[in-house]
Amino acid sequence: MEMNWSRWFRCESSFELFLVPNQPGIFALAEEVVQATGPHARRMLAVFEVQEADDLAHAMSRLFAAGSTWRAKLGEARCYVRYSVVPSLADRGTAVLALKTWLNSQKEVASQIFEQKTVAMPAAQESELKTVAETAVDRVTHGIKLSKIAAIL
């Protein structure tokens, strides 16, 4: 199944949802975790919720209702949303299940990447600072050298 997604757009209030169609589909909410700083830099978004809806416009507007669990987060953080019109109930269910499964599988990886922890380095490497990404890769691979992995494969 191929889905045509909208572009990501800022989600500060329900007024920004005027162009969302009154059609069935799925939508994803994301928070900006890294802002674009240079002319060629790109922002990084972390998806935190995927939902299906019989009416995208109404479901997304309800995110800002008084009883919504997401209202506070949408008001405090720089959140973005995108949607895809999916008329078939079966296709919506399959797509949402696949996206939520993927999202849950990525939570641990994401927490390792953005965890604010200092890394203890051997004395020989004290002058060499590791980037956040390098530190995350080291945690995931548990210090296994890449040459050992290549030999196994």
Alpha-helix residue ranges (DSSP H) falling in the chain: 56-61, 71-76, 89-114, 132-141, 146-152
In this prediction, residues 114-142 reach a mean pLDDT of 53
- Integer Cα distance of 121 and 31 in angstroms: 32
pTM score: 0.65
Domains of the chain, each with CATH number or no CATH:
9-106 (3.40.1440.10), 123-152 (no CATH)
106 vs 80, higher pLDDT: 80
**Whole-number mean pLDDT of the chain?**
76
Least confident span in 60-64, 101-105, 115-119: 115-119
C-alpha span between 14 and 89 (Å, rounded): 25
The pLDDT-based confidence of 152 (bands split at 50, 70, 90) is very low
Distances (CA, A) of 101 to 52, 83, 88, 107: 14, 18, 20, 10
The answer for residues whose C-beta is within 8 angstroms of residue 101's C-beta and 6 or more apart is: none
Query: What is the 8-class DSSP label of residue 4?
Result: -
Q: What are phi and psi of 56, to 5 degrees?
A: -60, -45
Stretch 4-8: mean pLDDT: 91
